[in-house]
Structure 1
Amino acid sequence: MTQQITHEAVIDEHQIGMRFDQVLAELFPDYSRSRLKEWILAGQVSIDGAVVTKPREKVLPGMHIKLDATVEAEERFEAQHIELDIVYEDDDIMVINKPAGLVVHPGAGKPDGTLLNALLHHHPQAAGLARAGIVHRLDKETTGLMVVAKSITAQTHLVSALQARNITREYEAIVNGVMTAGGLVDEKIGRHPTKRTHMAVVHSGKPAVTHYRVAERFRLHSRLRLRLESGRTHQIRVHMAHIRHPLVGDLQYGGRPRPPQGASDELLSALRDFKRQALHAVKLELHHPITGELMSWQAPVPSDMVNIAELLRKDAQEVKHDFNPKA
């Protein structure tokens, strides 16, 4: 499956002396600079009828540019019928409530059965998009809202909005330890120096900022609302572990069960059997990449996290009720 894209434009006076690839990025902002450069190198762009394959070619006012590109379908991945919880969908975007256990993109050890495979089945035209329209990810065991592009234009604008921090992503989490107040973690994140499947706070990493506030305190745990400024791999998990409040269930980053003293068998069992990080992408807000309309969605906290919170709440209330201060 291929998609044909054709656009024409005329060089303006203010673009005199600019490089060819710079002019294209200005004339056709619906496409990324890297994609436009690929089209130039592939001989799919012409000036005054002559194909130009040099991105640094200088241009002059009045020159006629024609973009006549073919987007090849990405056939490396198989379309698979996997049920999706679609919160919203139109011609340009989809918002999905991702369940725990669903990997977003095929990779080593997971060649299929992913969100990408599901998108190719639900929307076959996604084969013409990079990563089938996926613009950001959630970890396998993290639940909640993701936005997916259904067109090249929408994908370009969504990626730009993410980079400009114009998309709001809020999360709910349950962490070990009692946090006294909210705050932020502003620490660079990169690959762990010795554990290659882990991320870590490292000086050579990329900037990452996580805001958090305390929504509820329990005896030995806290329920948080968090907001990302950046979107690094495992960001919330790494930042919370860094400040010594790892997510409940996140064994990779130190979130082993830490029940409060005298906890009920029910709570002990629930904490022991919680096998994923207690993290849910609860809110997503963005300006629609085509219409500009401000849109917002919320996804209910999944039942496993609700159950843990209820048991921790019950535990805290029972201890408070049993405590009788001396007269």
Structure 2
Amino acid sequence: MTKQIKLSEIVPDHLFGKRLDQVLAELFPEYSRSRIKSWIQANQVRINGEIEAKPRLKLMGGEQVDIDAELQEEVQHKGEDIALTILFEDDDILALNKPAGLVVHPGAGNQAGTLLNALLHHAPDIVEVPRAGIIHRLDKDTSGVMVVAKTVPAQTALVAAMQQRFITREYEAVCHGTLTGGGMVDAPIGRHQTQRTLMAIDEGGKPAVTHYRVMEKFRAHTRLRLRLETGRTHQIRVHMQSLHHPLVGDPVYGGRPRPPKGASEVFKANLRSFQRQALHAALLRLDHPITGESMEWQAPIPDDMRELVETLRADTLEHGMEDA
């Protein structure tokens, strides 16, 4: 369903020299920049009564801005009593530790039982915030720390901080193969050319940068700590695959289990039984969007990843690195 919205403002003098899209984002902060840009391009914005379809138009201040646009109403999702592990909460934000297996946002085949449904039950007023305040996602089978905005101003500030790379996100992962040291992957990511539900390294894609360092080496696997500069879909999974060190258990980018020679049947069974990507959002650091206070939350790796690491460690102790 759609509804018609009409907005009108006079551009204040202090916005002199700003671009049209920047001015509208400041005048109407409850709407995203992408939505504002789409209105401009669809000739739904008038400046002093004239249609203007150039987002980069510089304004002088004092202009009359009118928006007459259609707004797609979001599907009304229902709150559900789903347990949340909350690390911090105040009137503006909420930080939580998402378990593996929990879908973040409803989509095809997942209209219920998601983090969004849980948030609507836990904090009903969050229904007034677009996407129930979710500003970044973790894949269904990735666990770890997330932050959610409980108000529109908090969401606007957090989205801006994310875009400006002011939010630190660190992950733990276990990958196939033994890396000799840390490094960085700077490779753009876009949709796979033939399998459109997958992502791939693509020179025409969006910039993507991942930093990684070695935490622990095993006979044929490596435990990593990774830090994101950008937040593309499946970024860590695609970047590690590009290094020929895909994540253990990754059903899409990982391939078959790769036990080292001489591994016990118990080891092989444990490796085969790990059926999700071994990836966990371990740390999130940011400035509070309203108070400016520096904040940090950490979550230890969940039991399944801890057991995986212990299995790899025991095998390495038994055989030694030279047998890899």
TM-score with structure 1 length normalisation?
A: 0.82
Question: C-alpha separation between the residues in 2 aligned to 1:321 and 1:211?
Answer: 25
Question: C-alpha separation between the residues in 2 aligned to 1:39 and 1:251?
Answer: 39
Question: C-alpha separation between the residues in 2 aligned to 1:149 and 1:203?
Answer: 33
Which amino acid is 1:147 matched to?
A: V
1:155 paired with 2:155, answer yes
Q: 1:63 to 1:251 in 2, by over 3 A?
A: closer
Equivalent residue number for residue 289 of structure 1: 289
Q: 1:9 to 1:250 in 2, by over 3 A?
A: same
Q: Which structure's CA Rg is the greater one?
A: 1
Shift of 1:24: 4.8
Say which SS state the counterpart of residue 83 (structure 2) adopts: coil
Question: C-alpha separation between the residues in 1 aligned to 2:150 and 2:216?
Answer: 38
Shift of 1:289: 0.5
Shift of 1:250: 0.6
Which amino acid is 1:261 matched to?
A: K
**CA RMSD in angstroms, aligned pairs only:** 3.5
231-240 or 21-30: bigger deviation: 21-30
Equivalent residue number for residue 43 of structure 2: none
Shift of 1:74: 4.6
Equivalent residue number for residue 202 of structure 2: 202
Say which SS state the counterpart of residue 184 (structure 1) adopts: strand
| Native 8 Å contact 2:49 2:64 kept in 1 | no
Equivalent residue number for residue 319 of structure 1: 319
Question: C-alpha separation between the residues in 1 aligned to 2:114 and 2:74?
Answer: 15
Equivalent residue number for residue 11 of structure 1: 12
| Native 8 Å contact 1:74 1:129 kept in 2 | no
Shift of 1:112: 1.3
Q: Which runs of 5+ in 1 are unaligned?
A: 1-7, 41-46, 66-70
Shift of 1:256: 2.1
Equivalent residue number for residue 132 of structure 1: 132
| Native 8 Å contact 1:21 1:55 kept in 2 | no
Question: C-alpha separation between the residues in 1 aligned to 2:127 and 2:172?
Answer: 33
Equivalent residue number for residue 164 of structure 2: 164
Question: C-alpha separation between the residues in 2 aligned to 1:243 and 1:37?
Answer: 37
Q: Which runs of 5+ in 2 are unaligned?
A: 1-8, 41-46, 66-70
Equivalent residue number for residue 237 of structure 1: 237
Q: 1:265 to 1:257 in 2, by over 3 A?
A: same
| Native 8 Å contact 2:219 2:320 kept in 1 | no
Q: How does 1:49-60 map to 2 (within 5 A)?
A: none
Q: 1:62 to 1:296 in 2, by over 3 A?
A: same
1:184 paired with 2:172, answer no
Q: 1:121 to 1:242 in 2, by over 3 A?
A: same
Say which SS state the counterpart of residue 81 (structure 2) adopts: coil
Q: How does 1:85-104 map to 2 (within 5 A)?
A: 85-104=85-104
Shift of 1:124: 1.2
TM-score with structure 2 length normalisation?
A: 0.83
Q: 1:223 to 1:55 in 2, by over 3 A?
A: same
Equivalent residue number for residue 272 of structure 1: 272
Shift of 1:179: 0.3
Question: C-alpha separation between the residues in 2 aligned to 1:322 and 1:24?
Answer: 62
| Native 8 Å contact 1:31 1:153 kept in 2 | no
| Native 8 Å contact 1:37 1:55 kept in 2 | no
Q: 1:206 to 1:19 in 2, by over 3 A?
A: closer
Question: C-alpha separation between the residues in 2 aligned to 1:155 and 1:262?
Answer: 52
Equivalent residue number for residue 68 of structure 1: none
| Native 8 Å contact 2:80 2:118 kept in 1 | yes
Say which SS state the counterpart of residue 252 (structure 1) adopts: coil
Question: C-alpha separation between the residues in 1 aligned to 2:230 and 2:108?
Answer: 25
Shift of 1:320: 2.9
Question: C-alpha separation between the residues in 2 aligned to 1:217 and 1:207?
Answer: 29
Say which SS state the counterpart of residue 222 (structure 1) adopts: strand
Question: C-alpha separation between the residues in 1 aligned to 2:18 and 2:243?
Answer: 48
| Native 8 Å contact 1:82 1:113 kept in 2 | yes
| Native 8 Å contact 1:169 1:281 kept in 2 | yes
Shift of 1:52: 8.2
Q: 1:91 to 1:73 in 2, by over 3 A?
A: farther
Question: C-alpha separation between the residues in 1 aligned to 2:284 and 2:263?
Answer: 35
29-38 or 214-223: bigger deviation: 29-38
Say which SS state the counterpart of residue 226 (structure 1) adopts: strand
Equivalent residue number for residue 216 of structure 1: 216
Q: 1:173 to 1:19 in 2, by over 3 A?
A: closer
Shift of 1:19: 6.9
